Amino acid sequence: MPTSQVGDRETPIDGIRKAIAKHMVTSKHEIPHAWMMVEADATGLVRYRDGLKNKFKAEEGYALTYFAFFVKAVAQALKEFPILNSTWAGDKIIERADINISIAVATDDHLFVPVIKHADEKSIKGIAREINELAAKARAGKLTQDDMSGGTFTVNSTGSFGSVQSMGIINHPQAAILQVESIVKRPVVIDDMIAIRNMVNLCLSIDHRILDGLVAGRFLQKVKENVETITKENTPIY
C-alpha cells in the first residue's frame, strides 16, 4: 500500500469515487476490450447547428449542442445494429429492446453517467433538453437512481475537453461505448481537390465477447453516415 511522504497532500476517497473505481475495475477485469475509430465529415452538421443555435437558445432557454445530434445519430444506428445494444449474461447475450443512451457528465470532482431513455424515439430538441437537465442535476448533486439506471449504450463527449482520440472504458455491463472527439478544421481531399472541412473522430470500444470487428465497423460506418448526412433539409430539430 502506498504511503505519503513529507509535502504530499492526501484526499480521502468518498463514496462516489469508491463506486466509480469499483465499476471501472469490474469493467476492465471482466470485459475484453477492443477498439476502432473512424473519422466523419461534420461540416454539414456544424453549418446547420451554428445557424440555429442563437434562435434555439432564445426560444427554448437551453443550448442546442453538437452532442445532441451525435446522440441521435448513434440511437438511429443502434436500431439497425441492435447487437451493439446488448449485454453479456454468461450463457447468453441479451439484446435490449429499449435504446437508453448513457451520457458522461463531469463535475469538478466526479463523473456521472445519467441516462436518456428511449433516445431513438426523441427529437433532437428532446435530447438536447435532457442533456441540459441531466447535466444541471449532476452539477447540483440531484441525480436520482432512476436518472442513472437502465442505460444500454454509452456516448461520451470527450471532444468537449479538446480530445481528438481516446479509448473509453466500457460502462459495465453494456457492450460498447462511443467517444465523440473534438470537431477540428482540417484539409481534406475531395474529388482530387483540397478543401477545409470540419472533421470529427468517432472512437468505439467494444466487448470482444459479444462483438467482432465486422459488425462494429459496420455500426461505426452507419454512425458516420448519419453524421455526414445531417442537413437542414433532412434533419428536423422538433
Count of C-beta atoms within a 10 Å radius of residue 56: 18
Distance CA 39, CA 166 (A): 13
Residue 155 DSSP one-character state: E
CA geometry: angle 31, 35, 37, nearest 5 deg: 150
Instruction: Tell me the pairing of strands 176-190 and 153-156.
Output: parallel
Distance CA 201, CA 106 (A): 21
Residue 172 DSSP one-character state: T
HSE, CB side, 13 Å, CA atoms: give it for residue 75. Answer: 24
Distance CA 85, CA 171 (A): 12
88, exposed or middle or buried, with CB in 10 Å at 0-12, 13-18, 19+?
A: middle
Residue with cell 444506428: 77
- Catalytic, 212? Answer yes
Q: Which of 23, 33, 118, 208 is catalytic?
A: 208
Contact 188, 197 (CB under 8 A): yes
- Sign, CA dihedral 184-136-63-233, equals positive
**Helix, strand, coil distribution of the chain in percent, nearest 5:** 40, 25, 35
Q: Which of 14, 98, 146, 212 is catalytic?
A: 212
- Known catalytic residues are 208, 212
